[in-house]
Chain A
């Protein structure tokens, strides 16, 4: 399977660490994360609203979340967390696929949604990816998830597949 990517690379994205103020006036730190941040990330997913799950992730049970975190915080992955007052409130991850390209996913705790944190998280993760020399990033999103689709478009993702339940989007770094 070959995935389509935009011809032109995206502009330069900001890199972690950064501090941004969200639209609710909350200060949020955006920090590169890895397996050593497991506990804080687990805490966030344990309090995740099941209604905000998408395409089977995050998993519901703690044991399944642990397995999943082993994958997405594992070797060759890139991660950025959004931290407010010491707690992880958002997480974006890039996981290598079988073709040496990277799949992106992002989650923001419900009380912190709609305040610009997701956009900053994705931009900062892509900045981290640029600093590591990654070139091809893709994602899928449920076609009815308008806020997510709008976010990805704003950041610079282009739609490469829209004939199925999930829209596929990609960006060249």
Chain B
């Protein structure tokens, strides 16, 4: 499968990166990592890119890295998946408040509601 993983710099998005690499190594899936600025996160795209490259190097796994521009990363991700025929979009999300309630961020919600491509949410 051709997997498109979105990474916006939240801890959950890095967790999803590690999980997806593990799975791709086991299945032979090809992975494209789309890096984007998430306005809810302080890391900028350069910092995210550096961490993604570092994680891939540590895992000794090759993936294509793309940068999503524009202020609607959810929409960019959905369009990219459709125009380039990806089989699946993967995202990390579902942050818990201190009290323990899970909330989905606006990017995850947009992708879940608007994607024609199957979506895997890693919590």
A interface, CB within 8 angstroms of B: 1, 54-57, 59, 68, 71-72, 93, 95-98, 103, 105, 140, 163-166
Closest to B40 in A: A1
* Shortest distance from the beta carbon of A84 to any chain B beta carbon, whole Å: 25
Residues of A within 8 A of B11 (CB): none
Closest to A142 in B: B101
Per-position 1/0 for B91-123, Cβ under 8 A of A: 000101111111110100100000000000000
17 residue pairs from A and B, CB less than 8 Å apart:
A1-B40, A55-B103, A56-B101, A57-B102, A59-B100, A72-B99, A95-B97, A96-B98, A97-B97, A98-B98, A103-B97, A103-B99, A105-B99, A140-B97, A164-B106, A165-B104, A166-B103
Is the beta-carbon distance between A97 and B98 smaller than 8 angstroms? yes
Say what secondary structure dominates the interface of chain A.
Answer: mixed
Is the beta-carbon distance between B103 and A95 smaller than 8 angstroms? no
Is the beta-carbon distance between A140 and B109 smaller than 8 angstroms? no
* Shortest distance from the beta carbon of A79 to any chain B beta carbon, whole Å: 12
Is the beta-carbon distance between B109 and A68 smaller than 8 angstroms? no
Residues of A within 8 A of B40 (CB): 1
Question: Per a CB cutoff under 8 Å, which of B94, B99, B109 touches A57?
Answer: B99
Is the beta-carbon distance between A68 and B106 smaller than 8 angstroms? no
Is the beta-carbon distance between B101 and A57 smaller than 8 angstroms? yes
**Among A1, A97, A98, A165, which residue has the most Cβ atoms of chain B within 10 A?**
A165
* Shortest distance from the beta carbon of B92 to any chain A beta carbon, whole Å: 15
Interface size class of B (residues with CB under 8 A): 10 to 19
Closest to A57 in B: B100
Is the beta-carbon distance between A56 and B96 smaller than 8 angstroms? yes
A140 to B94, CA, bound (A): 14
* Shortest distance from the beta carbon of A32 to any chain B beta carbon, whole Å: 18
Is the beta-carbon distance between B98 and A103 smaller than 8 angstroms? yes
Residues of A within 8 A of B103 (CB): 55, 140, 164-166
A126 to B104, CA, bound (A): 27
Known: A98-B98, A103-B97, A103-B99; 19 extra A-B contacts, CB below 8 A, are A1-B40, A54-B101, A55-B101, A55-B102, A56-B94, A56-B100, A57-B101, A68-B100, A71-B99, A72-B99, A72-B100, A97-B99, A103-B101, A140-B103, A164-B103, A164-B109, A165-B103, A165-B109, A166-B104
A55 to B99, CA, bound (A): 11
**Among B40, B98, B100, B109, which residue has the most Cβ atoms of chain A within 10 A?**
B100
A9 to B103, CA, bound (A): 27
* Shortest distance from the beta carbon of B13 to any chain A beta carbon, whole Å: 17
Is the beta-carbon distance between B101 and A71 smaller than 8 angstroms? no
Question: Per a CB cutoff under 8 Å, which of A93, A165, A166 touches B99?
Answer: A93
Decide yes or no: A56 and B99 within 8 Å by CB, A1-B40, A164-B109, A165-B109 being known contacts.
no
